[in-house]
Amino acid sequence: MSIQEIEVKDLKAALDGGAKLIDVRETDEYTAGHIPSATSIPLSTITVDFERFRSATDLYIVCKSGGRSMRACEFLVDQGIVNVVNVVGGTMAWQTSGNEVKLGEQP
Half-sphere exposure of 16 (CA within 13 A, CB side): 6
Please calculate the CA angle 79-105-15 and round it to the nearest 5 degrees: 60
Answer whether 84's CB lies under 8 Å from 41's CB: no
73 is catalytic: no
Choosing from 22, 62, 63, 85, the catalytic residue is: 63
63-88 burial by CB neighbour count: b if 16+ within 10 A, else e? bbebebbbbbbeebbeeebeebbbbb
Distance from C-alpha of 97 to C-alpha of 1, rounded to nearest angstrom:
30
Residues taking part in catalysis? 63
